[in-house]
Amino acid sequence: MLLIDQRPAGPVTPIRFVTADTWEATSGALGGQALAFAKASGFEPKAGRHCLLPAPDGTLACVLFGLDHVGAPKADTFLPGKLATLLPAGTYEFADLPGGAKAAELAALAWCLSAYRFTRYRKASGEQPQLVCPSGVDGVRLRRIIAGVTLARDLVNTPANDMGPSALEKAACELGKRYGLKPCVIEGDDLLKYNFPLIHAVGRAAAEAPRLVDFVFGPPDAPKVTLVGKGVCFDTGGLDIKPSSAMLLMKKDMAGAATALALAHMVMDAKLPVRLRVLIPIVENSVSANSFRPGDVVASRKGLNVEIGNTDAEGRLILADALALAVEEKPDLLLDFATLTGAARVALGPDLPPFYTADDALAAEMAEIGMAEHDPIWRLPLWEAYDSLLDSKVADLNNVSSGPFAGSVTAALFLRRFVEGAGAWVHFDLYGWNPSTKPGRPEGGETQTARLLYALLEKRYG
Whether residue 242 lies in the annotated active site: yes
- Between CA 356 and CA 363, with CA 362 as vertex, the angle to 5 degrees is 40
What distance lies between CA 382 and its chain's CA centroid?
A: 22
State the catalytic residue, choosing from 242, 379, 438, 460: 242
DSSP 141-168: HHHHHHHHHHHHHHHHHS-TTTSSHHHH
Measured on CA atoms in the order 173, 220, 338, 116, is the torsion positive or negative?
Answer: negative
Distance, CA of 397 to CA of 417 (rounded, Å)? 9
Q: How many residues does the chain have?
A: 462
State the catalytic residue, choosing from 143, 211, 302, 316: 316
DSSP-based three-state secondary structure for 38: helix
Whether residue 117 lies in the annotated active site: no
Q: Assign residue 290 a region: left if phi > 0, alpha if psi is -120 to 50, beta otherwise? A: alpha
Label residues 326-348 b or e (16+ Cβ within 10 Å = b).
Answer: bbeeebbbbbbbbbbbebbbebb
Distance, CA of 17 to CA of 210 (rounded, Å)? 52
Distance, CA of 229 to CA of 169 (rounded, Å)? 12
For the chain, first and last CA: distance in Å? 27
Q: Which residues are catalytic?
A: 242, 316
